[in-house]
A and B are shown apart, each in its own frame.
Chain A
Amino acid sequence: MKIPEIFEFIRVDERLPHILCPGCGIGSAMNAMVRAIIESGLKNDDVCVVSGIGCSSRIPGYIDADTFHTLHGRAIPSATGVKLAHPELEVIVIAGDGDLLAIGGNHFIHAARRNLDMTVILINNFNYGMTGGQASPTTPQGKYAKTAPYGWTERNFDACAIAQASGAVFVARSTTYHVTHLRTLIKQAIKKKGFALVEVISQCPTLYGRLNRMGDAVKMLEYFRDNTISISQIKDPKEAEGKIVIGVLHDVEAPEYYETYKEIIRRAQAQKHHV
């Protein structure tokens, strides 16, 4: 894909340069998302990109489409209103781990259960970036954050496992190192009818990386390269221990919310004509 084609989808005029730190992984995730949108054959006016609050949630501001920067944690319920009003729009939620899993955790599981057609791109950089590196629901035990100066004692969420257990029909994971792979997964998620999650393991070299002495962005990306395993390559579960498992983790069929609601409309209208 040529670069100008990507720029068709970016608000180049007054919006750039962006607010992200040098080396941040969110730009790679955005790049993968935009390319996935284009490769899915979607045009600017076919999509609505929705986010909450946080670094990852700033992405919609750079996308030349209908974009919806909602309240902290509320991207998914806000997107629910958009999708039900305009089922023809491809609704893509892009937000961070704090937004989608802490303050928005309840919406996340219920949206997966409800199975309304939307693609959720969860950029997981293991901490709250915008507020300065505090611990999040995905911060691993023992790691450091501004609110965990002695090490984080809580256990972390596995967003993919939660989504799958809650009823999501498509669950996948990749990293900002595996950008081509990531783009393919987002394309699959867009194509999937129902609630589709793509978790993007991403680097925050400015905060999480620095607080945990993980080196610069390149070092963090190398870590992702060396510590991931594709789900298709796992023959013995032991091989996955301590590794980030990437790939399509779950892909099933289940009735999509709006499709079932259309059936409700049909039944209600048939009943109305009976009376």
Chain B
Amino acid sequence: MSEALPSLIQAVDQAESSGHLIRAVRQLAAAHHADAIPTLMAVLSYNNPGAAIAAVDGLVALGEPAVPALLEQLDQHNYTARSWAIRALAGIGDPRGLVTLLGAATADFSPSVRRAAARGLGAMQWQWFPANLLEVAQEEALEALVFVVHQDEEWVVRYAAVVGLQSLVTGVAAPHPDWRSQIEAQLTQAIAQEATLAVKARAWMSLQQLQSHQPVAIAAPAAPSPLSANDWQNILDKLYERKEQERSVFAEGDPRRYKDLAVAIAPPPESH
């Protein structure tokens, strides 16, 4: 497989049409090899949504090894590539993407990015978090998802936030004592306010599954956390920074205000 990798990479680099590119990226993604990461990352800025989707799928399948490159992409000023990187981070659920997902779920310009980020916040690898960080991180995730479920104007983003809220409970072996009842209360409120039948139905499904206390499907602690103490410190710093910003700059506490900033500094995204 690894012998074929150079030719798979070459096929992506030399693709002559959109169709060829998409096919080549799919094949490269299917090789499931960390050496493909730089090429898959490059595809995110090609402005070819079909190829970008295939690259995101490949990066998500690779998981943790792709995270450093994705985080680096977030610092670049390419809004389209950044959107795809956020979607990949949401799919991987690596804690280093947490703060980015918090911002994206509540304030990104593109509904597809908000949708993926809302789902990703619930599906975070919560079992990796050290105890002292888990509580503050989950509180932030809960706050963001509650905001989205009640405020986002797109039904599909609210739907994703319902799914995210449910996984906040089911994804943790020993959730907060009152976690479950808090989230059940939020879902009940969402059902009462929700205008879109599909979202209402999904919220009922979550509520019923939570209330039936179905066995929690934790991804067994198979892989130990690959994060270093430094990574965790970094996440904690950024979380506090975010809280601080909400208090001072955005006095009304409305994370949506980030949206104006994002629009001001960036061209519109590609969304698919």
Q: Do A and B bind each other?
A: no
- Chain B positions within 8 Å of A, measured between CB atoms, are none
- Chain A positions within 8 Å of B, measured between CB atoms, are none
